[in-house]
Structure formats: structure tokens, C-alpha cells
Structure 1
Amino acid sequence: MSDDRTPLLPNNSTPLERAAAEALAEIQRVPVPLHTLWNPWECPVPLLPYLAWAFSVDRWDPAWTEAAKREVIATSFYVHKKKGTISALRRVVEPLGYLLEVIEWWEATPEGTPGTFALKIGVLDKGITQEMYLELERLIDDAKPCSRHITGLDLAGETFGKFYAGMATYDGDVTAVMPYIPGDLISTGIVHLGIATDSNDSATVYPL
């Protein structure tokens, strides 16, 4: 044991006890970053399952992505505080990379049974497996109000990408220039005809 510490073991301690005390005394030199270990965004990945247990995460799947695991842990307190609300439903579904739309009974067409609601989950372009679908059912059942009943759970697939559209137009006139050839001119109209006569006699009288 180092000189700066006084051993607390009795003089009749065995060599094994003294060696164990020496080894365990060095544990104080090991840094324990409690702030990091209790932070869902900074906790080492291998310790995330234990942090999820400490945060009372209802559902946990080792196959989730690291981002999904951290998001689920980070929202656990909010979900427990808001359980039974639409906000809690969103918090358990959207961290897994899905979109959620809630259709209340009065918003349905035709109007549904009071106290019921339907869900539409947007799976984007990554799709969904049977296992994940069953997991979503369990998560939603944990977060929904106990007095409310789900009448439908629809999946809506969406895909995003770039779409290029182009258009071109071609327009023109064809003009033919021919030598000038005069044609027959025809004029129509009304012609008024008139005639006049002038007759007179000239008589000369001579002396007898």
C-alpha cells in the first residue's frame, strides 16, 4: 500500500487480505463519470440497456438502432408523465422513425363510436417488419388511455426522392414565295342607263 495511506487492517491480517486491500484501494483512482453515464445522449452504447432499465423504459429491443435507443431512453420520463395522451403515443412511436396520425371517433367518416380512435402510421420508405408491427402494437397499448379503444391501425407507406421533369417545344411557319400571277378582276355593281332626244325644225321665210 502506498505511503500516503495508513492501512486499516489489523496486524494479524493474512497476505491475501492485505493484497485485496491494496488492489481495492486503487479503485478510487478510477474516474466514474456519473454525469455521462446518466445522460442518454452520452452514455456508452454497451451500457444503454442498463440506463433504459434505470429510466423505466417499458419496451426495449436490442435490434433498434443506436439513435432509436437513445431517443427512447430520453423520452421515457415524458412518456410516463403523459401516459394516456396523444402526446405520449407520439413519443413512443416517432423515436422509432415512424410518423403517427391520430383519428378521433368524431373525426372519422362515418362518425365512429364514442371513446374510440384509429391510428395511421407512416412507415416512410424503409417499410416495416412483422416483428416491428407487433412491437408498435405493444408500445401503443402501453401508452394509450385505458378507457379508449383502438378501432384501426393502418400503415401508410411513403417514399421520397428526386424527380426531374423537362419539356421542350418546337414551333415554326412554312412560307412559300411564288411569282406573281395576276388573276381576272371581276367587278360587280349596278349600271343605270338613260337616253334623251332633242328634235327641232328650222323654217326660213323669204319675201315674195
Structure 2
Amino acid sequence: MDLNNTDLFALQTTYMKKDITTQALCKVLNPYFVELSQDVKLALIYSRIDELDVQAVDELAWQMHVDFYDYTLSIESKRRLVKSSLEWHKIKGTPEAVEKASSSVFGNSKLEEWFEYGGEPFFFRMDVDITEQGASPENLKKLDMLINEYKNKRSWLEIIRIFLTAKGTMYFASTISSGEEITVYPWTITEVSNSINITLAIINTSIETITVYPKEEG
């Protein structure tokens, strides 16, 4: 049954469809059932997170125990944090968790362990693209807090390398100058055709003179 298009009369048996009272009740009650079916969607919260307002997302973040949650973030970032919370809880304390959480809030991020770049044991570094968020002191502080929430306790952040791409609009214009020389030679007739409809009466005389140009000289 399609809840978006509820039809009470269609749900009745063949016998009940013949009953006048049943027909009347279905006609009167059907609009209310259609409205009720729309209200049922309100019970679906997590699956409708992209439709919820910021207040509902904030409440959902508290319910889902999102480890890092900043109420000043954009609604899009908040939704990503809430939707990913269950997955990140399963892998919390791993480089993957730190990378995914950072990428979700700030931009494309990559974590390198000390043995991958020749650093001191138990240290790691982060490469973070903050083109969309910017490199304000507040955002850098949020990034540091996020990393501490999702890293394991024995690992220590050595350095964060920030990548910032400048964006702008560039306009290019071009012009083409060209010339053309056309030489027209005297026109030469290669074919002459003539078509005419003549209606003659018995007492009429028709005279036709056809002159073809250019006239032949000599």
C-alpha cells in the first residue's frame, strides 16, 4: 500500500464497495487518512536528517553522542557529523577515524604515522585542506580539538600542514581580424532556358519578342 496515496475505498472488499454507507464514509475520511499518512513521516528522524532544521540536528547530535560537535558549524557540517557518528564510534582511535572526521568538517585530510615520514615514535602529522573553512584561529583550534577527540591516547600530534587553495574568477578575451579578397570575372552564359504559357484566341494574334542578353556583337 502506498501511504502517499491512501485510498480507503480501494481497500474495501467487493461486497463492502456496494454499500452506500461505506462509500460515503470512505469519501469523507479519505482526506484525513492522506493527511495522517504524511504526518507518519515525522516519526522518521534519522533517515530525514537532510530535511531537518538546525535545532533538530543539534538535538540529534546530543542523542547520537557525537564526540566532536561545534554548534557554530554550518548545518551541512553538522549533518555530516551526525550521519557519520555511528561509523566513527566503531573505528575511534584509528588514523582512519581522524582522517574521516577532519575531512567531514574541514576538507580533504590525510594522516601520516611517524614511521611513514621518519618522525619520532608515537607521533603523527596531518595534512589538511581548509580551502572551504579558512585558516582563522578559531578554525585551527576546532581542528586541534577534533583530532584529540578521535586519535588514540598514545599518539601525539607533531604538526598540522595546512593547504589553502585560492579561488578566483579569471576572464579571457580574444579577437580575430581577417580579410578576404574576391575577384569577380565577367559573367559567362553557359545555358539559357525559357518557359512561357501562351493562351491564343481564334481572333487574336500574339507576338512575342525574346532578347537574350548580352547581345551577340558583330
How far apart, in 2, do the equivalents of 1:102 and 1:136 lie? 13
Q: Please state how far the C-alpha of 1:134 moved relative to its aligned partner.
A: 0.9
Identity value in percent = 23
1:48-59 to 2 correspondence within 5 Å? 48-59=57-68
Q: 1:38 to 1:126 in 2, by over 3 A?
A: closer
CA RMSD after TM alignment: 2.7
How far apart, in 2, do the equivalents of 1:124 and 1:37 lie? 29
Q: 1:82 to 1:135 in 2, by over 3 A?
A: same
CA deviation profile, 1:143-182 (whole Å, cap 9, x unmatched): 0111211111221212245667899xxxxxxxxxxxxxxx
User: Which range moved further: 89-98 or 45-54?
Assistant: 89-98
1:40 aligns with: 49
Alignment match of 2:76 (pick from 57, 67, 73): 67
Q: Name whichever structure is richer in helix by fraction.
A: 2
Q: 1:78 to 1:107 in 2, by over 3 A?
A: same
2:129 aligns with: 122
User: What amino acid maps onto 2:77 in structure 1?
Assistant: A
User: What amino acid maps onto 1:139 in structure 2?
Assistant: L
Q: Please state how far the C-alpha of 1:44 moved relative to its aligned partner.
A: 3.0
Alignment match of 2:86 (pick from 77, 80, 85): 77
Larger radius of gyration: 1
Q: Please state how far the C-alpha of 1:136 moved relative to its aligned partner.
A: 1.1
SS of structure 1 residue aligned to 2:109:
strand
How far apart, in 2, do the equivalents of 1:145 and 1:68 lie? 23
Unaligned runs of 5+ in 1: 1-28, 168-208
User: What amino acid maps onto 1:67 in structure 2?
Assistant: E
Q: 1:163 to 1:106 in 2, by over 3 A?
A: farther
Does structure 1 retain, via aligned residues, the 8 Å contact 2:106–2:133?
A: no
Q: Please state how far the C-alpha of 1:97 moved relative to its aligned partner.
A: 3.4
2:213 aligns with: none
TM-score for both structures, normalised by structure 1 = 0.57
Alignment match of 1:141 (pick from 143, 148, 151): 148
Q: Please state how far the C-alpha of 1:83 moved relative to its aligned partner.
A: 0.4
How far apart, in 2, do the equivalents of 1:82 and 1:68 lie? 20
Alignment match of 1:152 (pick from 149, 155, 159): 159
2:111 aligns with: 102
How far apart, in 1, do the equivalents of 2:108 and 2:49 lie? 22
User: What amino acid maps onto 1:113 in structure 2?
Assistant: E
User: What amino acid maps onto 2:78 in structure 1?
Assistant: K
How far apart, in 2, do the equivalents of 1:95 and 1:155 lie? 16
